[in-house]
Amino acid sequence: MLTYEQYKENYKKYGKCVDQMTRPSKPLSERLLLLRYDKYIKKEERKQQKFEDRKVDERWGAVREEIFTRDGHRCRLKSILSIQELRLFKEHDGYFMNTLDGAHVIARSISKNLYYEPRNIITLDRVFHSRLDFNKCPLTGKGITRQEKEWWWIRIIGREEWEWLNNNK
């Protein structure tokens, strides 16, 4: 990222700003040059943030793949449902998206410490993931209480894992 002096020197040398494709029709005043520089700085900061975000995404991608491998690339909830529960799901306009998500048991907004923790992430079909995130029964799509949501998580991951996660938020 250029300093204002470097930005100004570049303008004097080439007759245009580093972030412009063509020369302006009129020379830029000091005030306009400062405004252009502010715009340049904001653009560079956004680029830097995107770069930082990509690094985070790379880490998430690695954890996600680890989780999918651990879970055999199958939805953990779907694999424990009974035939009757699968029928109930289908009766309530349920359809499997067959898109797998890495779902956080303890929400990211509740615990940043567990964001990349493999024990806090499981493989779920997107429809189940979405329903649980929005406090809905994964089978019927109807609203559920916090306690009912916790019951579903305990059923999916087991009480011991649930307690470990809640003790390590």
Token readout for 43 is: 């653009």
Asked whether residue 115 falls in the same domain as residue 35, the answer is no
Domain membership of residue 60 as a residue range: 7-12+27-70
Q: What is the pLDDT of residue 73?
A: 96
Same domain? For 66 and 80 the reply is: no
Q: Look at residue 117 and tell me if it is in a domain.
A: yes
pLDDT of residue 56: 66
Residue tagged 């580093």 (tokens)? 18
Q: What is the mean pLDDT of each run of 10 residues along the chain (169 residues)?
A: 89 86 87 92 84 73 95 96 93 80 94 94 95 95 96 97 95
In angstroms, the CA 164 to CA 146 distance is 18
pLDDT computed for residue 116 by the predictor: 93
Residue type (1 letter), 156? I
Residue 67: other Cβ atoms inside 10 A: 21
For residue 42, count other CB atoms closer than 10 A to its CB: 10
Instruction: Please report the pLDDT score of residue 55 as a whole number.
Output: 64
Q: For the chain, how many structural domains are there in total?
A: 2
Give the global pTM: 0.66
